[in-house]
Chain A
Amino acid sequence: MRLSIKYTSVKVGEGCIDRPMIPLIIRRDEKHIPLLGILDSGSDFMLVPKDIAEYLNLELHGSEEADAIGSKVETKKSTVSLTVSDGKTNVYLQNIPVRVLMQDGLKEVIVGRIPFFGEFDITFRENSKRIELVRTKRG
């Protein structure tokens, strides 16, 4: 099972930067939210902004500090389900652990390595501006 998603071009300063963003549906119980996540192999976990956690009524557990650039941040643990899609193929992932950033400011969903990068072999095709995800596990 393979998904291929085009990078998203974003205006930055006088030019544009292409970012590896993937369409996701995050679910918890009866609520869901379709949005974009940024793939980040440098982040240990998936990070969800507090605003999204509040909208989904996520149950939050155990405060945990994390190192971010230049500072420590407070996170709490939660669990969600995810759908990843490229329009042709949909992959549904259950019981995905996430960290919720407890401070305001971040409005990006960061899709870090654990457990997402273990569910797929992920290739960043920087020159053709595409992300390829090949499913490595079957749920």
Chain B
Amino acid sequence: MAHIQLPEGLPGIRGPLVFSPATTGPLCELVEVLLRAPNTLTMAEREMIATYVSAQNDCYYCQTCHGSTAAQHLGGSPADYELIGQIKRDCEAAPLSEKMKTLLAIAGKVQKGGKHVKAEDVERARRHGASDKEIHDTVLIAAVFCMFNRYVDGLDTWQPHDPEVYREIGMQTAAIGYAARDWKRPLQTLATNQAATPSR
């Protein structure tokens, strides 16, 4: 049960977003700009950074939602989901560009704390073609997800474990993004899945 009274049946961050509409606007604008605005990093790559950091923070809801969104941007096949799994387990060994690996390394340092990012980490990313903007965005995405993970877990929100829920979330999010969403709207899988019950 969440630490505060949240609307029933809304998983993860959705409960807090509905509880606090004043902060929801800026939070959704921020993630829309960071993860979906035109960028030299693809939407899939940016969602991978979010997923990786959320996994490092052990936030089940965020890593699974954003992992699914990343996989959907790649096509949504089992192989795409498997790639996301590999990134979470060992991003150095995953079949990604060297540039992407260096950016994930920076994201991992940000997750520990800003001062963990060293000049050598940034230089390495530059040598593999990362631009200032890509480095900036990697740091900010990682920082933002350190916020979202704490928001979701700090309020002890309900986090379902049905993979179909996250598949649906990934499909919706990849298609329509984060801004101007009706977070109160129940997920189809939760509405129809009789086995889904709120649990820790």
- Check if A and B associate: no
Interface residues of A (CB under 8 A from B): none
